[in-house]
Amino acid sequence: MITFKYDRSFWRYSLLSLFFLLVFACGISASVQGRPMPVSSVDSVSGQAVKPERNGDKKFNAGEMIMEHVIDCHEWHVAEIGNLHLTIPLPVILLYDGRLYAFSSARFHNDTHSYQGFKLEPEGPRKGKIVRVKENPIAGNSAPAVYDFSITKIVFAILLSSLMLIIVFLSVAKAYRRNVDKAPSGLQSLLEPIIIFVRDDIAKSSIGEKKYEKFMPFLLTIFFFIFFNNLFGLIPFFPGGANVTGNIAVTLVMAVFTFVLTTINGNKHYWIDIINTPGVPWWLKIPIPLMPVVEIIGIITKPFVLMIRLFANITAGHIIVLGFVSLVFIFGAISAALGLGVSVVSVTFMVFMNLLELLVAFIQAYVFTLLSALYFGLATIEPEHHGGSEIAK
């Protein structure tokens, strides 16, 4: 049996890491809206229909369907039964001209997609964004900007998953304090191997025995946040299905946190390696500081790579699965028998992709956490290991 020395300060810092990650991710994600509410939707989750559109003759658009499921929006679609769309409207919070506006997104379910002078753009380059309806079109673009702090689908999913993570880890921490020097049970036995894996195979090996504990709360938070939301995104029904880690605003916030922690904790030798890289010919430093510029660009590109890698891999997985779903409808429009035949192949590949996505969910959490730990290790490397760092580079 492996015992842990996780005192209250450890869990306090873990929860603080999750809290700040949650706040910043929600703040940025709220400004990334996706598809507009359809007119043929309902006013609330109760299912009261509002003038459904007659779209029986409308051709199936695979690209539109895929993007509607991948991007963010102001409602949570639960189910569709005929012309009845069961949705959960989410709060709209706007700041305009010094005034705060708050109302349900169901208010946009009308012919004009507008309410209280605000409009949810149904088409065009600003599709899915809330804009101010111009009372005087001749006035031009001099009107104040609309600041959107709405609780969108992605934000709601972040709040929900973060709440569940907090409940789970508080219960695990309580179990550790209650069952000291006893074999783990329940959630302890499930999470302890993962925590050991992050500690031994990621933190210790990348940062070192002396300084890894300082970064463990952040590394554990970022690992379980990504892993949990990756798994939650594979659930096809409410409250799952939200593309949290496939939202570039969320991955941007996590990458910025890694960048800030790396920059703050960088020691003297880390910055010397950047400004005056050892082993590089002098003519690459003087008179034009070519190598320092390259090193500084590298500092910026590291979090950018973290952001794009997670965003692209998760989004690509969802698009592939939805692509197989689209094949059924595309071939079904040609012939019912052809659609039935293709459905067998599509469903088979969908099951395979979903099983593969379970593996990807863990791999992407591992890669993001490992790279973050490597950046922390390079920033805090000791002088006596300086030569080894150069080889690692």
What mean pLDDT comes out for the span 170-187? 83
What mean pLDDT comes out for the span 126-154? 76
Residue 353 has pLDDT above 70, yes or no: yes
Type of residue found at 283: W
pLDDT at 119: 87
Q: Considering only 15-19, 45-49, 69-73, which range has the smallest mean pLDDT?
A: 45-49
- Sketch the domain layout of the chain as residue ranges: 8-26+155-392, 33-150
CA-nearest of 151, 14, 136 to 72 is: 151
CA–CA distance, 287 with 294 (Å, rounded to integer): 15
Residue 17 has pLDDT above 90, yes or no: no
pLDDT at 54: 44
Q: How far is CA 171 from CA 13, 163, 164, 267, in A?
A: 16, 12, 11, 37
Q: Considering only 2-6, 90-94, 293-297, 317-321, which range has the smallest mean pLDDT?
A: 2-6
Residue pLDDT, tens place only, 208-227: 888 899 999 999 999 999 99
Which residue(s) pair with 312 in the sheet? none
pLDDT at 196: 92
Q: Considering only 51-65, 211-225, 243-257, 372-386, which range has the smallest mean pLDDT?
A: 51-65
What's the burial of 64, exposed, middle or buried (CB within 10 Å: 0-12/13-18/19+)?
exposed
Residue bearing the bigger pLDDT, 275 or 9: 275
Residues 6+ apart with CB under 8 A from 365: 222, 223, 224, 226, 227, 230
pLDDT at 137: 53
Q: Considering only 67-71, 156-160, 231-235, 277-281, which range has the smallest mean pLDDT?
A: 277-281
DSSP letters of 30-76?
TT---BPPPTTSBSSTT--B------TTPPP-HHHHHHHHHS-BSEE
What mean pLDDT comes out for the span 103-132? 84
Structure tokens at 316: 């690509």
What is the chain's mean pLDDT, rounded? 79
CA-nearest of 214, 216, 232 to 165 is: 232
Residue 90 has pLDDT above 60, yes or no: yes
Structure tokens at 208: 């070192």
Q: How far is CA 26 from CA 20, 21, 258, 282, 346, in A?
A: 10, 8, 17, 47, 35
pLDDT at 226: 95
pLDDT at 376: 93
CA-nearest of 80, 67, 247 to 157 is: 247
Residue 323 has pLDDT above 50, yes or no: yes
Residue 182 has what DSSP assignment? S
Residue 301 has pLDDT above 50, yes or no: yes
pLDDT at 387: 45
What mean pLDDT comes out for the span 253-280? 86
Label residues 40-50 b or e (16+ Cβ within 10 Å = b). Answer: bbbbeeeeeeb
What's the burial of 115, exposed, middle or buried (CB within 10 Å: 0-12/13-18/19+)?
buried
**Angle 36-40-75 (CA atoms, 0-180°, nearest 5)?**
40
Contact 132, 99 (CB under 8 A): no
CA–CA distance, 269 with 210 (Å, rounded to integer): 17
pLDDT at 100: 92
Residue bearing the bigger pLDDT, 385 or 82: 82
DSSP letters of 321-348?
HHHHHHHHHHHHHH-HHHHHHHHHHHHH
